[in-house]
Structure 1
Amino acid sequence: MAKYLLLKHYRGAPAPVDGTPMDQWTQEEISAHLRYMNDFAARLEKSGEFVDSQALAPEGTWVQYGGEGRPPVTDGPFAETKDLIAGWMVIDVDSYERAVELAGELSAAPGAGGKPIHEWLELRPFYGVQPTVTE
C-alpha cells in the first residue's frame, strides 16, 4: 500500500472548473456535492483505502520565521493566486494507477445543475514512505 494526498483546489471565488462559483450554488447543489464526497469516502473506508479527510476554511495567513520576536504574517492562504485549497483526503492504495483512478472519480463530484465539476485534484505521494507489500 502507498499513501497519497488528494488536494482539492478551487479557483476564483472559489469556482470549480465548470465556471460556476460555489457561492452561487443552491443549497441543494452544495448538499449533493457534500453527499457525493461523503459517500466516496465511506466506500473507500469499507475497502480499507481511506485514511482521513478534512475541509478547510477559506481564511488563512502565511507565516514565516523572522528571527527574533513575532514572525511576519501576511494575507493568505494564497495571496498571489486565485487558488484555494478547499480540503484534502489521504488514501492508502495498492498502486499509483489506483490513486489516479480514485482522483478522477472524486473530480466528478457534482456542482451547479448537478453536473460533474471536473475539478483539478493535486495527487501527491507521501515523501519517503515506501509502498508495503502484503501477502
Structure 2
Amino acid sequence: MAEYLLLEHSRGAPAAVNDVPRDQGEPDEVSAHIRYMQDFAARLESTGEFVDAQALSPEGTFVRYDGEGRPPVTDGPFPETKDLIAGWMVIDVDSYDRALELAGELSAAPGAGGKPIHEWLEVRPFMSEPPTVTE
C-alpha cells in the first residue's frame, strides 16, 4: 500500500464550481456536492483506502523565512488568483493507477446544475525512506 495526497484545485475564487463560486451556489447544489464528497470518503473507508480529508478556507497567509529571524508575511491567496487549493484527501491504495482512478472519480463531484465540476486534482505520493541496503 502507498499513501497519496489528492489536492483539490479550484479555479476562480472562492473555489468556483462550474464557474460559480461555491459560496454563491444554490443550497441544494452545495449540499449535493458535499454529499458526493462524504459518500466518496465513506466508500473508501469501507475498502480501507481512506486516510483523512479536509476542506480549506479560501483565506490564507504566505510566510517565508527572510534570513534575519523574522519571516515576512503576506496576505493571500487572493480572490483574483486563478487557482486555489480547496481541500485535500489522503488515500492509501495498492497502486499509482488506483490513485489516478480515484482522483478522476473525485473530479466528477457535482457542481452547478448537478453537472460534474471537472476539477483538477493533483496526485502526489508521500515520500518514503529509501530502501536500506545491507551487504
Q: Same fold by TM (over 0.5)?
A: yes
Instruction: Quote the sequence identity (%).
Output: 76
SS at match of 2:66: coil
Q: Is the 8 A contact 2:51 2:90 kept in 1?
A: yes
Question: 1:108 matched to which residue of 2?
Answer: 108
Alpha-carbon distance in 2 for matches of 1:25, 1:74: 29
Residue ranges of structure 1 left out of the alignment (5+ in a row): 131-135
CA RMSD of aligned residues (A): 1.9
1:15 and 2:16 matched: yes
What's the offset of the Cα at 1:129?
5.7
Question: 1:64 matched to which residue of 2?
Answer: 64
Residue ranges of structure 2 left out of the alignment (5+ in a row): 131-135
Question: 2:52 matched to which residue of 1?
Answer: 52
Question: 1:125 matched to which residue of 2?
Answer: 125
SS at match of 1:108: coil
SS at match of 1:39: helix
Alpha-carbon distance in 2 for matches of 1:42, 1:123: 20
SS at match of 1:38: helix
Alpha-carbon distance in 2 for matches of 1:27, 1:15: 15
| Worse-matched range after superposition: 61-70 or 85-94 | 61-70
What's the offset of the Cα at 1:127?
1.6
Q: Is the 8 A contact 1:56 1:86 kept in 2?
A: yes
Against the structure 1 CA distance between its residues 55 and 129, is the aligned structure 2 distance closer, same or farther, given a 3 Å change threshold?
Answer: farther
SS at match of 2:35: helix
Instruction: Using structure 2 for the length normalisation, give the TM-score.
Output: 0.87
Alpha-carbon distance in 1 for matches of 2:25, 2:71: 38
What's the offset of the Cα at 1:81?
3.6
Moved over 4 A (4+): none
Q: Is the 8 A contact 1:3 1:129 kept in 2?
A: no
Against the structure 1 CA distance between its residues 79 and 15, is the aligned structure 2 distance closer, same or farther, given a 3 Å change threshold?
Answer: closer
2:114 maps to a residue whose letter is G
* Alignment coverage as a number of residue pairs: 129
Instruction: Using structure 1 for the length normalisation, give the TM-score.
Output: 0.87
What's the offset of the Cα at 1:15?
2.0
